[in-house]
Amino acid sequence: MSNLATVPKNGTLSNRNSNGNYLNVSDWLDDIFNRDLPSVFTSNFNTGMSLPKINIKETADAFMVEMAVPGLKKSDFHIDLDNQVLSISTETKEETEHKEENYTRREFGYSSFKRSFNLPESINDEKINANYENGILSILLPKKEEAKQKPARSIKIL
């Protein structure tokens, strides 16, 4: 019989019955709250927009970041660089109002997201540029000259 305490997912210490014939309340609650939830609950529902996926491609000369975010305008994006941390964010608000003789209907919409990345020291931050076209935000992160991959070469033996 073991006297070791186990640490469940919620971080609290609990003693488990060594015969394992019953489920205690803590385990039951862990099971309820840690099971896979429908995507409506795991998305960024507080902001009205799910977190867009990012593709990052590395070449010998640069990194290319691509983010699919259709339906926005260039002016909706904010791209900031602070101490080698690249942040991409957007915030959109929409308000409509429909007035009739007996009632007024107002609808409000708000959506936002923010993604941040620690950039390697090899990035030439003076030459970073971004483009938004056909729903794809592309950010080119060029490497410093000394960090660029040199082509393979043969070395002659003397």
Distances in Å between the alpha carbon of 19 and those of 10, 74, 75, 83, 143?
22, 62, 62, 54, 59
Total of domains in the chain: 2
My answer on whether 30 and 51 are in the same domain is no
Which residues, in sequence order, are bridge partners of residue 140? 64, 129
Which residues, in sequence order, are bridge partners of residue 82? 85
My answer on whether 66 and 137 are in the same domain is yes
Whole-number pLDDT of residue 140: 95
45-80 burial: b if 16+ Cβ within 10 Å, else e: eeeebeebeeeeeeeeebbebebebeebeeebbeee
My answer on whether 59 and 91 are in the same domain is yes
- Cα–Cα dist 70/67, whole Å: 9
My answer on whether 62 and 6 are in the same domain is no
Range of the domain at 25: 1-35
Q: What pLDDT digit, counting tens, does each position of 2-27 carry? A: 444 444 444 444 444 444 455 555 55
pLDDT reading at 57 higher than 80 = yes
My answer on whether 125 and 71 are in the same domain is yes
CA 138, 144, 149: angle at the middle one, nearest 5?
Answer: 90
Whole-number pLDDT of residue 29: 53
In a domain, 156, yes or no: no
My answer on whether 13 and 57 are in the same domain is no
Q: What pLDDT digit, counting tens, does each position of 84-127 carry? A: 999 999 988 888 888 888 877 888 777 888 889 898 888 998 99
Q: DSSP letter at 22?
A: S
Question: Among 86, 147, 149, which Cα is nearest to 114's?
Answer: 86
In a domain, 152, yes or no: no
In a domain, 10, yes or no: yes
My answer on whether 74 and 142 are in the same domain is yes
| Range from 13-22, 53-62, 134-143 carrying the lowest mean pLDDT | 13-22
